[in-house]
Structure 1
């Protein structure tokens, strides 16, 4: 049985979350995320899908197509059961970093290429 995961958000690193959120709000017409603040801002589609922007100290913008500074983002997924999701994700090749800021309600993993993503209890 496949793991049922729903993509709920994409979060991008940046130097100024509010500025980037304002730009994408204009581009997409999405509404401001209600929990936006100085270090995180987001925009939300009517169905709840969110694009987030998180402040990163010393952020270095990617240079396309040059990979000197590669593109960075992470995916957020909702699941019915965190423990079941963890077991399956690890089996399929994900890794679980030691640092887990909110392990009881969400978990951070890395994909086989090292890109982080979050899994949150529905």
Structure 2
């Protein structure tokens, strides 16, 4: 029997509402708790909930460095990697590791540096 149930994954960032808007465009869903003035925004998506927490002095993870580590990353399933890549780059993502087109996944960073992978579904 489980001790707990996962409620939300929270990401530190400098501007919660801006990062929530990026992930809303990427994943769909709606803001269910928008307290950006208090440093906290929650996005409910078809796959679960993400929260964005203001972190003064935020420093993005360095990928693939192990010196500071990536802390966490999200794997996101897509139907068409090439189309999804164009769309996430247009939203403000940065390509981190996309050169090997034979793989079934590619690595990007969101606008504040959190790494995430687009994975062929």
Question: How far is 1:4 from its partner?
Answer: 3.9
Q: Distance in 2 between matches of 1:51 and 1:10?
A: 5
Q: Deviations over 1:58-104 (max 9, x none)?
A: 1100011113332346xxxxxxxxxxxxxxxxxxxxxxxxxxxxxxx
Tell me the residue number matched to 2:111: none
1:60 paired to 2:59: yes
Question: How far is 1:46 from its partner?
Answer: 5.2
Structure-1-length-normalised TM-score: 0.50
Q: How does 1:67-78 map to 2 (within 5 A)?
A: 67-72=66-71
Q: Distance in 2 between matches of 1:33 and 1:69?
A: 32
Q: How does 1:72-111 map to 2 (within 5 A)?
A: 72=71
Tell me the residue number matched to 1:34: 33
Larger Rg: 1
Structure-2-length-normalised TM-score: 0.51
1:19 paired to 2:18: yes
Kept in 1, the 8 Å contact 2:64–2:70? The answer is no
SS in 2 for 1:6: coil
Kept in 1, the 8 Å contact 2:28–2:46? The answer is no
Q: CA RMSD in A?
A: 2.0
